[in-house]
Amino acid sequence: MNIGDFDYELPPELIAQAPAETRDASRLLVLRRTSGELADRTFTALPSLLRAGDCLVVNDSRVIPARVLAEDDAGRPVELLFVEPLNEHAWRALVRPGRRCRPGAHLRAGGVRLRVMGADPDGARVIAREQGTIAALLEAHGLPPLPPYITRHAKPAPEDWERYQTVYATSPGSVAAPTAGLHFSQAMLAALRAAGVEIHAVTLHVGPATFRPVVAATVEAHRIAPERGSITDATAQAIDRARSEGRRVVAVGTTTVRALESAADETGRVRPFDGVADVTIRPGHRFRVVDALLTNFHLPRSSLLLLVAAFAGRDPVLAAYRHAVAARYRFYSYGDATLIS
């Protein structure tokens, strides 16, 4: 399949630039996989849309303040996005503009001196701190790593520190939010539990592959880079128990899907793991664990849209997106959600 088959037209004004007034005030587009039927709802209706006994699985990864605004020796601005630790003092980072970050170059961020140690084939740089740790640099000078389609991404608003983070985030490591989870408030979680929905957490640290464009010409040639994560023995057992009892596994977000499908064996049994999730989910993938998916609206030609199309079918998904555009849903990280079952 050609990657162009997963394109759609999106008016720029539908890209959400700020979160909804409250977390669960978003709209929710419900898509039935078997019929293609669509229904316009609000996120507050979620407890009535799920079933007692459903096993809702969330991603508890916490977004780190990975974006740092720096300067080179000439005082020119350089933007750094720290994406992966190599050791305490050196991380891989995406840089902009790259011409100011050639190996050997020196940078300064908030009085902290940094050095570009090398360049990787994918364009990332190895950035080392001359004294102290990168973690301390991020703690002192890092900003929320808002995606570039949010126009204020280089100057986040005060609300972004709270709203670009799920209420259940406990495991630091993501450089982008697992955005489907942003809609959940503590009150919503309590309402779901009161309705008989089980809630369990896995961890998948969202890496830069999530927002990098698909460069392959065909879907079959596309590969997404591994991401670090873990599933505890207790969570794996709870998911396996739900499946053995005929209860649905509802994944909150594409990252949760990737964690679960990476951990599943051929029979659909979920194995505990602490390592990397390396499965690339594209049309043709046989889902072993997930029965329903709650997710946001994703970019055209993106790996996340390929995953959603693998789960629900290309034509129903693109039809749902066309409906969402016509109905003026809000798209992307701070936008509205879909429930596919």
Lowest mean pLDDT among 99-113, 245-259, 325-339: 99-113
- The pLDDT of residue 151 is 93
User: Rounded CA gap, 270 and 301, in Å?
Assistant: 30
| pLDDT digit string, tens, across residues 144-165 | 999 999 998 888 999 999 999 9
Mean pLDDT for 136-148 is: 96
Mean pLDDT for 45-49 is: 98
Which contacts qualify for 147-151: CB closer than 8 Å, 24 or more apart? 147/176, 147/211, 147/332, 147/333, 149/15, 149/332, 150/15, 150/17, 150/333, 150/334, 151/17
Mean pLDDT for 101-124 is: 94
Three-state SS for 126?
A: strand
- Global pTM? 0.95
Which residues touch 13 (CB under 8 Å, ≥6 apart)? none
User: Rounded CA gap, 227 and 210, in Å?
Assistant: 10
End-to-end CA distance of the chain: 24
Mean pLDDT for 6-22 is: 97
Could you tell me where in the chain the CATH 2.40.10.240 domains are found?
A: 67-141
CATH class of 67-141: mainly beta
Confidence band, pLDDT 50/70/90 cuts, at residue 212:
confident
User: Rounded CA gap, 258 and 210, in Å?
Assistant: 11
- The pLDDT of residue 210 is 75
Instruction: Using the predicted structure, report yes or no on whether residue 284 has a pLDDT greater than 90.
Output: yes
Q: Could you tell me which CATH number the domain at 3-63+161-340 has?
A: 3.40.1780.10
Could you tell me where in the chain the CATH 3.40.1780.10 domains are found?
A: 3-63+161-340
